[in-house]
Amino acid sequence: MTETVSITASPRTVVGKANRRLSSEGMIPAVVYGAGRDSLALSVSRHDFELMMSHHALGATVIQLNVEGEGKPVNTVIKDMQTSPIKGEIIHIDFMAIRMDEKLQASVPLHLVGDSVGVKAGGVVMHNMHEVLIEALPMDLPSVIEIDITDLEVGSNLHASDIVAPSGVTVVDDPQALVCSVTTPMAEVEEEAAEGEEAEEPELIGGSDEDESEEA
């Protein structure tokens, strides 16, 4: 289930504002920590990393980090990734070293599949939750979890507790978190509301003609 990829990283001594120089050299500053090892500042090729991202679901991918100067690769997952608010490019990566025999938590995408009977009846699917937090051994992490909405009718909801996770995977998100629902289109709701308003008897403003004649 879990994909395994590898990428080369180089130890770095450049830190802080000096990291801007790495960007001009086509490198991304990074750090690796966890699994009983000391934190180590690294740099990775921007080209290689972005190419890897374009082909793999990183939330459920074990990345074998080949650190120059170390004898064997380090099994890692991406713990955090910072992007520039202006350019949108990756400016820092946190790799977390893991043990393959210990469970870890990761967020994986949720994909809705099937043709809902509620949609066939004129309803609209509202997809509220696009990823879910799960726990599993590294090699059991799925790249995506599919949710069958075939039987979902208008007015029906699916919550995190309804997610059928693959074997060896536990959903740890709030069980009551709303994943999706099928609702009546807003246009129909507004039309029904407008019809209801028209059906109400308009309120008279001021007194009746009889009251006015009595006052005169």
Q: How many CA atoms lie within 13 A of 14 on its CB side?
A: 14
Domain ranges of the chain: 3-99, 105-199
Cβ-based neighbours of 140, under 8 Å, separated by 6 or more = 1, 2, 166, 167, 168, 169
Look at the domain 3-99 and name its fold.
Answer: Ribosomal Protein L25; Chain P (2.40.240)
Which pLDDT value is given to residue 216? 45
pTM (2 decimals)?
Answer: 0.73
The pLDDT of residue 132 is 94
Report the C-alpha gap between 156 and 7 in whole angstroms. Answer: 45
In this prediction, residue 185 carries a pLDDT of: 82
- Which CATH code for domain 105-199? 2.170.120.20
C-alpha to C-alpha distance for 182 and 43, rounded to whole angstroms: 46
User: Is residue 210 classed as helix, strand or coil in its secondary structure?
Assistant: helix
pLDDT digits (tens, 9 = 90+) for 158-171: 999 999 999 999 99
| 162/99 Cα distance (integer angstroms) | 30
Weakest-pLDDT range from 16-30, 54-68, 200-214 = 200-214
- Residues of the chain with pLDDT > 70, as a percent, come to 82
Band of residue 53 on the pLDDT scale cut at 50, 70, 90:
confident
* pLDDT-derived band at 54, boundaries 50, 70, 90: confident
Read off the pLDDT of residues 106-156 as tens digits, 9 standing for 90 and up: 889 999 999 999 999 999 999 999 999 999 999 999 889 999 999 999 999
User: Largest Cα–Cα distance of the chain, in whole Å?
Assistant: 107
